[in-house]
């Protein structure tokens, strides 16, 4: 017999208010997809390791008997409101929470003690055919309170003991074989989550409206290894970030939206589940990415969004700084008499070279940003600062008249490093434009630069150093540009 029919039968008899409320709650919780049509979960990354999660639910709240409340209104009047189970939420601290009604008005939500009493009554009702003879009601009530209001570890342990052995602290209280399927699901889920109940004005009962809530949550990158960070910064790899769906089985369709940070692009959004189509995946260079799916069973994996650094923006800026550093240091080695001319005009040359690091550091100046942005943009800022320090060291070698071979070595290392990074930063775009000519061009450029460096410094260091320099430069290029 359906709970709706049971409810009708109870109302024609002399059922207690607690039973009517428990049956009404069972009806709206079990059949959430019947009155929650569409849930849109939006994420916006903010400064540091947190995000703003905003959820809107297109629904027709059910004002069933037993769910009504009398609230104090303005002027001492009484207003009618009814309980609406909005969603399931993970147990833990809830920060900056806000609940809004269809007209943008703030909605009250029930508190912790009231929630425990409410759901304890629901679970007791669902388990009414399961207790063993002679069971102490207080013992079962204590176990249910632990499941609903205890720490997640203790709650999960109490739920497991109750459903597996039918005991509380080793003392039998119910027969696990007589616990219905939905009661099992409730006891398992409510040990890890809690139900958010809002008190909605009575005028919205049975009407199609949109309820909204928002809160802050922690968010960080999953794989932030050094290699992935540098490859992601160069646009050669992506950084996956997971987004846990908020009770996706509660609505007929669940939508996920993620705002792409201004200096990043999204190469892929994937909703969890076996089905993958145009609705469950998306990508965007800017703005918002969106995916949608329907779930009968809670997915065991989160949604994944993969971010990368586009060419336009910080990557192009870093490439420009690296190219300028390469041009300054390489031409200082290549042009005949360049080093001597700089030494003869040490004050002027030092002033010019010292001005370049100031500009480079200005490019590297960051702003308040999310951890995901810092993970991907951090390596670029580090390299811009490195280029600034390299040019500063070159300026000091001129002003301070650093003797050869150390001055030449300093300039050669700066030229080789900045050339390698400049090639890596533009590798993805250059490969798309040049196609099969990309690798020969890289080889010729590297060979020319290495040959020039070898001519300038080859007689100042051991031959084995030159061979190792060529070998490691090639290995680095192949490692960074797959």
Taking a C-beta distance cutoff of 8 angstroms, is the pair 340, 260 a contact?
A: no
More confidently predicted of 268 and 459? 268
Question: What is the rounded average pLDDT of the residues 344-372?
Answer: 62
- Output the DSSP codes for 48-96: BTEEEEEEEEEE-----TT-EEEEE-GGG-EEEEEEEEEEEEESS--EE
Contact 17, 11 (CB under 8 A): no
Residues comprising the chain, all counted: 482
Residue 243 has pLDDT above 70, yes or no: yes
* pLDDT at residue 2 in the model: 47
Whole-prediction pTM? 0.81
- pLDDT tens digits for 319-351? 988 888 888 887 877 766 666 666 666 555 555
d(CA 271, CA 87): 19
**What is the reported pLDDT for 47?**
81
Per the prediction, the chain carries an average pLDDT of 81
What is the pLDDT averaged over residues 446-462? 61
Alpha-carbon distance 130 to 88, whole Å? 25
Helix (H) or strand (E) segment spanning residue 41: strand 36-45
User: Is 415 in contact with 333 (CB distance < 8 Å)?
Assistant: yes
The total of other beta-carbon atoms located within 10 Å of residue 210's CB is 14
Q: Give the per-residue pLDDT at 331.
A: 81
* pLDDT score for 5: 46
185 contact partners, CB below 8 Å, separation of at least 6: none
Whether residue 266 contacts residue 289, with contact meaning beta carbons closer than 8 Å, is answered with yes
Among 72-81, 152-161, 252-261, where is mean pLDDT lowest?
A: 72-81
Q: What is the pLDDT of residues 276-311, one digit of tens each?
A: 766 788 888 878 999 999 999 889 889 999 999 998
d(CA 326, CA 190): 61
**Would strands 288-293 and 253-259 be described as parallel, antiparallel, or unpaired?**
antiparallel
285: helix, coil or strand?
coil
- Residue in the block written with tokens 């060291």: 393
Tell me the pLDDT band of 353, cut-offs 50, 70 and 90.
low
Least confident of 20-24, 439-443, 477-481: 477-481
* pLDDT, position 7: 47
> Tokens at residue 233, please?
């910064």
d(CA 346, CA 351): 8
Within 10 angstroms of residue 260's Cβ, the number of other Cβ atoms is 21
Percentage of the chain with pLDDT > 90?
31
What is the predicted pLDDT for the residue at 447? Answer: 64
| pLDDT value, residue 210 | 96
Answer yes or no: is pLDDT of 429 > 80.
no
Encoding tokens for residue 131?
A: 């207790």
Residue pair 44/260 in contact by the 8 Å Cβ criterion: no
Residue 61, pLDDT score? 94
Interval 30-39: pLDDT, tens: 999 999 999 9
Which region among 244-258, 298-312, 361-375 has the lowest average model confidence (pLDDT)? 361-375
> What is the arithmetic mean of pLDDT over 70-80?
65
Residue 208 in this model has a pLDDT that exceeds 80: yes
Please, are residues 163 and 180 in contact by the beta-carbon 8 Å criterion? no
Per-domain boundaries in the chain: 3-34+60-211, 236-308, 311-480
Range in 203-207, 210-214, 240-244, 425-429 the model is least confident about:
425-429
Least confident of 82-86, 96-100, 183-187, 394-398: 394-398
SS3 247: coil
Distance between alpha carbon 159 and the CA centroid of its chain, in Å?
30
Task: Identify the band that residue 8 occupies on the pLDDT scale cut at 50, 70 and 90.
Answer: very low
- CA–CA distance, 298 with 280 (Å, rounded to integer): 16
- Quick one: pLDDT at residue 313? 85
Grade residue 138 by pLDDT with cuts at 50, 70 and 90: confident
Q: How far is CA 426 from CA 242, 261, 311, 433, 460, in A?
A: 28, 21, 8, 11, 33
């Amino acid at each position: 017999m359906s709970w709706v029919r049971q409810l009708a039968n109870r109302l024609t008899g002399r059922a207690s208010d607690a039973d009517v409320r428990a049956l009404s709650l069972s009806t709206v919780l079990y059949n959430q997809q019947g009155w929650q049509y569409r849930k849109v979960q939006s994420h916006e990354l903010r400064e540091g390791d947190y995000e703003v999660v905003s959820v809107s639910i297109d629904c027709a709240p059910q004002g069933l008997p037993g769910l009504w409340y009398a609230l104090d209104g303005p002027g001492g009047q009484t207003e009618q409101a009814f309980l609406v189970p909005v969603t399931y939420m993970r147990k833990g601290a809830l920060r900056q929470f806000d609940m809004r009604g269809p007209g943008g008005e703030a909605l009250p939500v029930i508190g912790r003690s009231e929630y425990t009493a409410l759901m304890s009554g629901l679970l007791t009702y669902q388990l009414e055919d399961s207790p063993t003879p002679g069971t102490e009601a207080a013992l079962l009530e204590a176990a249910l309170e632990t499941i609903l209001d205890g720490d997640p570890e203790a709650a999960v342990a109490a739920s497991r003991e109750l459903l597996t052995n039918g005991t509380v602290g080793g003392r039998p209280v119910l027969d696990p074989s007589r616990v219905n399927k939905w009661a099992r699901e409730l006891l398992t889920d409510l040990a890890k989550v809690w139900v958010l109940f809002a008190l909605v004005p009575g005028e919205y009962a049975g009407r199609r409206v949109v309820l909204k809530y928002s809160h802050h949550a922690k968010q960080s990158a999953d794989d932030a290894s050094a290699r992935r960070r540098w490859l992601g910064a160069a646009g050669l790899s992506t950084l996956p970030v997971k987004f846990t769906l908020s009770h996706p089985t509660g609505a007929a369709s669940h939508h996920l939206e993620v705002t792409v940070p201004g200096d990043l692009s999204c190469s892929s959004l994937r909703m969890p589940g076996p089905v993958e189509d145009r609705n469950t995946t998306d990508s965007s260079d800017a703005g918002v990415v969106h995916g949608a799916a329907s779930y009968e069973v809670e997915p065991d994996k989160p949604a994944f969004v993969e971010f990368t650094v586009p060419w336009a923006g910080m990557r192009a800026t870093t490439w420009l700084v690296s190219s300028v550093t390469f041009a300054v240091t390489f031409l200082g080695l290549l042009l005949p008499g360049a080093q001597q001319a700089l030494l003869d005009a040490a004050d002027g040359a030092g002033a010019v070279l010292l001005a370049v690091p100031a500009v480079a550091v200005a490019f590297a100046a960051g702003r308040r940003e999310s951890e995901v942005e810092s993970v991907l943009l951090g390596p670029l800022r580090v390299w811009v600062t490195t280029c600034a320090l390299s040019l500063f060291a070159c300026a000091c070698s001129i002003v301070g008249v650093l003797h050869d071979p150390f001055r030449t070595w300093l300039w050669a290392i700066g030229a080789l490093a900045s050339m390698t990074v400049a090639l890596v930063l533009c590798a993805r775009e250059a490969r798309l434009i040049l196609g099969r000519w990309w690798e020969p061009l890289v080889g010729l450029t590297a060979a020319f630069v290495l040959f020039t460096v070898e001519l300038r410094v080859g007689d100042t260091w051991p031959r084995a150093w030159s061979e190792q320099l060529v070998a490691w430069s090639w290995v680095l290029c192949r490692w960074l540009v797959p």
